[in-house]
Structure 1
């Protein structure tokens, strides 16, 4: 397994806090990373029925086994353990003894925030960023391959067929994980809902239209989307707001963390299909936004990302908030650099610079960078080399 970008930060925080909690989607590499960083720690996977039963029936005896450090995998399966860990930490607060992982954000963080506030550092491990994918001996070398393959580590580590693996992942997620997170009675309709969300990646998140198209009530659509967020499948990108004298669209945008997963849900099986697909541009935008989100999350930045759109249709796909400025990013899947790619982000920059200094970028599908006086063209394969955090 390759080094993950989160490695140094995880090590650092384990040296400062009694506990570290690592969340992320299933199969993002949480267990592999923790076992590589803490090879001498005991390991207990609470998915195993016998271990889970032991932890539930006699939590004190279960935890007493681990004097010298332990990785407790899928801790959300026995959330009451965090209360017992709290009392142990308060008596023996040595750093790095407890390493907790889980793949359901809401369930895990609720128990962690109640019991371990101030005692644990919380980190998120998402599917591979391109900076990580290129560390494998074989990795996607073209843009369409990168979008189609996505970033789940097992695909790269075992050189699996991405389409087949992702199909299995979707089936397992729908049939198993959803039941653990919430009471979804109609799994067929839920799968249809997930597919409709994939078809709306990079679009405004309109729950009214989404619920109508799926044939469900709007509160159900909101609850089901929260399930996708809790399991790190999709996320909402909030709209930018400031004292700009413009009427701004306030709806968030919908994005998938993994474009390979979105492609599979859309029925896109080959790069040839993707190349001519009407949603290729939207998928590229989600790829760019998720790459930058991963870069920032790995560096410890969990917020500060927005989209901009006003009532006149002027928009920027991504606004990144830094301490002293903003960065504007427009995603264009076109392979050829031309002035037409720069028009949109230039219009937004003119507006934003009235209130905040900003830099403008266009991430595009070509392979040659250009630094112009007011906009930098960033080729897709060099996106990870920029300092977005």
Structure 2
């Protein structure tokens, strides 16, 4: 893991610099933003780099922001959330000079969520989200399931050599560069340090929290509810917080890229969909660390394999959607009668691919119930339904529905 692993987001940064004045690379701490920007600017002469983690550089930015951003060529400002007062002089500079490719900003908090944000850059800034490594990036695989599913419908085919334990090992490692290169024992030390830094520093930059212990308690509770419906009222009672405080804490955890909510999907053809979002942790390595389960424990009876594997798949899809040629949004579907589909991908023109996730190596008839319901509901708009499971072969289950080995997510080509 000592070599630099290419990131799919680099092409997005290169493209954005060609027609956009300011590019913001936003993502979790330790996801590789600094490395990405270094690679993206390696062949650009006259690039100025400012690292706001350096206290002296940060002080200069805060004391004289207008002079700080005055430059020719391209300027990279790392961890922009540490000095949001730079955004106003950046806006003024790019308004006076509309050339593309003037700034790359990086942030480990959602910059637009900063309480001290003076002004955004509408129409002047493109935001590119960088997630921890995808499985395709780690294995130099195509990573194009989203495009392949919409382009080829239910004709995708894949035979795999991976087994259930292999997928659980991948989920436990997660995708943070520092975590995947470590042994399991050293990985635990990284996660401990990572979470402490995130709560003690990044969360406090966004908002004051009354009791930090409550945030850690909430995080552990959320990890145990990964891939479940996100019901703030219920969570508030379990963690001993008011509902309003719980909602604010959830927003903070989302802003620092620890959790993601997957909205409920509905259509005007039905009024029975439950509108509650589903919770996902951005990195399953962090989730497994918080619940204290390694691959062996996950796979035992009573282990959390089902929800962790589902979370794993949802976040692989979320990563792919940032670079897929086919624009689509990620949802989940659940009716009041309990008919559900774990993941729903919908294009702007209304076409849908349904995805059911199974941690087991076999597929039962009841596992197909949600996909078949969705197919009847949508008719021709239903492109295909896939059960992603830990078995090794592709199986057909009738019109537009089939089971695929889970690694089809990162191995199939469009």
Using the size of structure 2 for normalisation, the TM-score is 0.86
8 Å CA contact 1:107–1:181 kept in 2: the answer is no
Alpha-carbon spacing, 1:123–1:110, altered in 2? closer, same or farther (3 Å): farther
Q: Within 1, Cα distance between the matches of 2:176 and 2:62?
A: 31
Distance 1:63 1:33, change over 3 A: same
Q: Does 1:174 align with 2:208?
A: no
User: Aligned-pair distance for 1:107?
Assistant: 4.2
Moved more, 343-352 or 182-191: 343-352
- Higher mean C-alpha deviation, range 370-379 or range 36-45: 370-379
2 CA distance for matches of 1:191 and 1:19?
35
Please name the residue that 2:358 is paired with.
332
Match of 1:265 in 2: 290
Aligned to 1:380: 406
> Counterpart of 2:119 in 1: which secondary structure?
helix
Equivalent in 295, 298, 316 of residue 274 of structure 1: 298
| Matches of 1:275 and 1:296, distance apart in 2 | 29
Superposed CA deviations along residues 156-185 of structure 1, whole A, max 9, x for unmatched, are: 356783222112211221222221121112
Match of 2:144?
A: none
Q: Offset at 1:378?
A: 1.9
Partner of 1:29: 32
Q: Which residue of 1 aligns with 2:133?
A: 128
2:372 aligned with 1:346: yes
1:108 offset after TM fit, Å? 6.0
* CA shift for structure 1 position 310: 0.8
Which stretches in structure 1 are left out of the alignment for 5+ residues?
Answer: none
Q: What SS is found at the alignment partner of 1:293? A: helix
Q: Give 1:77's aligned residue.
A: 82
Q: Is the 8 A contact 1:76 1:108 kept in 2?
A: no
Q: Is the 8 A contact 2:115 2:207 kept in 1?
A: no
The offset of 1:113, in angstroms, is: 9.4
Using a 3 Å threshold, how does the CA distance of structure 1 residues 116 and 107 change in structure 2: closer, same or farther? closer
* 1-structure distance, mates of 2:271, 2:61: 56
What is the correspondence of 1:292-371 to structure 2 with a 5 Å cutoff?
292-299=317-324, 304-322=329-347, 323-353=349-379, 356-371=381-396
Flag the 1:386–1:257 CA change in 2: closer, same or farther, 3 A. farther
Q: Contact between 1:288 and 1:331, CA under 8 Å: does it hold in 2?
A: yes
Matches within 5 A, 1:139-158: 142-156=166-180
The residue number in structure 2 matching 1:91 is: 96
Compute the displacement of 1:229 (Å): 0.8
Corresponding residue for residue 279 of structure 2: 254
Q: After TM superposition, give the deviation of residue 340 of structure 1 in Å.
A: 4.8
Q: Is the Cα contact below 8 Å between 2:355 and 2:385 reproduced in 1?
A: yes
Answer with 123-132 or 171-180: which moved more.
171-180
Residue by residue, what CA displacement relative to the aligned partner does 1:274-317 show, whole Å, maximum 9, x if unpaired? 11143210111111111111100233888621111111111101
1:52-67 paired onto structure 2 within 5 Å? 52-64=58-70, 66-67=71-72
Residue in 1 aligned with 2:146? none
Q: Distance in 1 between matches of 2:204 and 2:109?
A: 12
Q: Pick from 46, 50, 54: which aligns with 1:44? A: 50
Aligned-partner Cα distance in 2 for 1:208–1:387: 43
Normalising to structure 1: TM-score of the pair?
0.91
Instruction: State the distance in 1 between where 2:239 and 2:130 align.
Output: 31
Matched, 1:204 2:229: yes
CA distance 1:212–1:251, change in 2 (3 Å) = same
Ranked by relative contact order (alpha carbons within 8 Å, sequence separation 6 or more), the top structure is: 2
| Separation in structure 2 between the aligned mates of residue 300 and residue 110 of structure 1, nearest angstrom | 34
Aligned to 1:221: 246
**Structure 1 stretch displaced more, 277-286 or 182-191:** 277-286
Gapped runs of 5+ residues in structure 2? 142-162
CA RMSD for the aligned pairs?
A: 2.4
Give the 3-state SS of the residue equivalent to 2:140 in structure 1: coil
In the alignment, which residue of structure 1 is the partner of 2:160?
none
Task: Please give the secondary structure, in 2, of the residue aligned with 1:80.
Answer: helix
The Cα offsets for residues 233-292 of structure 1, whole Å up to 9 and x where unpaired, read as 111111112122352211111111111111111111x21111114321011111111111
Q: Do the aligned residues in 2 keep the contact of 1:133 with 1:156 (CA within 8 Å)?
A: no
Question: Structure 1 stretches (4+) deviating beyond 4 angstroms?
Answer: 106-113, 157-160, 300-303, 337-340
8 Å Cα contact 1:352-1:358 kept in structure 2: no
SS at match of 2:228: coil
CA drift of 1:94 comes to 2.1
